[in-house]
Amino acid sequence: MPFATVRGAQIYWKMDGREGAPVLVLLNSIGSDMDLWDPALPFLRNDFRLLRIDTRGHGASFAQTGDYSLSLLAEDVLVVALAAGVERFALAGVSLGGMIGMELALSHPGVLEKLILICTSATMDAAAWDARITTVRGQGMGAIAEMAMGRFLSPAFKAEEPAVWDAVKRGLIATDAQGYAGCGAAIRDMDLKDRIAGIGCPTLVVTGTRDTSTPLEGHGEYLLATIPGAAHLPLEAAHLAPLEAPVPLATGMTSFLQN
């Protein structure tokens, strides 16, 4: 199992896809791991080398307790890319993964070839996230599971795919509470809103019509209005679009990345 050592963490990563193809880094949301991308992999691996990363404190990535920052999480991605022998790459990130992608595009503008922001935002309710962090640190992941699942996936998807819903919920509850809280602090404290006009790489903003966490209104529309030349891909999906809409997401990503 490949791990990269970064400040206070061991970051787990995996490379899939066709050798010699362009590299696409795939980042997960808070409360999930690289398996979030599994339904979309069959539709991406023939065209790309896929570098998946378990965000620090999630999945198999171990990290010290404490508050993390977006700059630290972006550094994790750079160290993993170096360990994988990759200097430049495209990046697609869901929710927190998209926030990390924006930070990376701003702090290391020569690294990203293209950026895909999936169900994410440049600004969130800091007070709400602070309360969530306190709850998780004091009561564990079970205390927020129902609330988070209601944002992750739509009722329609739950009815159609109850086994997937249950698996996602088990994974959420199994997430290390301290890792979740540390990443939650990165969301709470991010300062992207007044900076993203400086993103210089081609950017695709993906929004979900069922997404109640980072919908087009107030979130996606701000990214589209502020990031120069950003394109838009709307999907019939809630927050975890790779699960609810893997085929249209992968198709839209491939079209954007190859043009």
What are the domain boundaries of the chain? 3-258
Tens of pLDDT, residues 8-57: 899 999 999 989 999 999 999 999 999 999 999 999 999 999 999 999 99
What is the rounded CA–CA span in Å between residue 253 and residue 89? 14
DSSP-derived 3-state class of residue 210: coil
pLDDT value of position 201: 98
Q: Is residue 249's pLDDT more than 90? A: yes
Q: Are 13 and 54 in contact (CB under 8 A)?
A: yes
pLDDT value of position 8: 86
pLDDT value of position 188: 98
Residues 158-178 have a mean pLDDT of: 97
DSSP-derived 3-state class of residue 44: coil
Is the CA virtual torsion 29, 35, 36, 41 positive or negative? positive
User: Which CATH class for the 3-258 domain?
Assistant: alpha beta
In this prediction, residue 1 has a pLDDT band, given cuts at 50, 70 and 90, of: low
Question: What residues are paired with 204 via a beta bridge?
Answer: 116, 231
Residues 136-150 have a mean pLDDT of: 97
In this structure, the number of other CB atoms found within 10 A of the CB of residue 45 comes to 16
The burial of 164, by beta-carbon neighbours within 10 Å (0-12 exposed, 13-18 middle, 19 or more buried), is given as middle
Longest dimension (CA), the chain: 48
DSSP-derived 3-state class of residue 108: coil
Average pLDDT, the chain: 97
Single pTM value for the model = 0.97
What percent of the chain is predicted at pLDDT more than 70? Answer: 100
What percent of the chain is predicted at pLDDT more than 90? Answer: 96
Tens of pLDDT, residues 62-121: 989 999 999 999 999 999 999 999 999 999 999 999 999 999 999 999 999 999 999 999
Contacts with 206 (C-beta within 8 Å, 6 or more apart), sequence order: 116, 117, 118, 119, 232, 233, 234, 235, 241, 249, 252
